[in-house]
């Protein structure tokens, strides 16, 4: 288990629901990855992310899927792409990522509380 954090530490992490609206192969990534456009609703808008999720998901499967992402990390340059949020997931037994999702449809931008 990692070091304990306080409630104040946890609430600093802005986890939101977004819908993937576009997926492209990320050719310049060192490891197989997709470039995602994710709609987080009117307040936040559309953000870009790079995700190494090619093992379990095709591009067609991802469009329209709701995911959970951290939206308040600093932007990160990955090759020639600027990632604006961090899509969350869990590694399976082989280290391939399974996306964090919601059980039922939620409005884009809904915040984890």
Spatial contact of 45 and 38, defined as CB atoms under 8 Å apart:
no
Domain boundaries, the chain: 14-99
The CATH code belonging to domain 14-99 is: 2.40.50.140
Question: In tens digits, what is the pLDDT along the chain, a chain of 113 residues?
Answer: 889 999 999 999 999 999 999 999 999 999 999 999 999 999 999 999 999 999 999 999 999 999 999 999 999 999 999 999 999 999 999 999 999 999 999 999 999 98
Q: What is the pTM of this model?
A: 0.94
Strands 15-25 and 66-70 turn out to be antiparallel
């Amino acid at each position: 288990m990692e070091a304990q954090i306080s409630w104040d530490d946890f609430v600093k992490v802005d986890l939101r629901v977004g819908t993937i609206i576009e997926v492209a192969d990320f050719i310049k990534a060192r490891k197989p990855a997709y470039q995602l456009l994710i709609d987080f609703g009117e307040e936040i808008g559309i953000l870009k992310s790079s995700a190494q999720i090619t093992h379990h998901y095709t591009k067609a499967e991802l469009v329209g899927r709701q995911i959970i992402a951290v939206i308040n990390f600093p932007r990160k340059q990955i090759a020639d792409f600027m990632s604006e949020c961090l899509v969350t997931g869990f590694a399976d037994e082989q280290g391939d990522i399974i996306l964090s999702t919601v059980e039922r449809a939620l409005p884009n931008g809904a915040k984890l509380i």
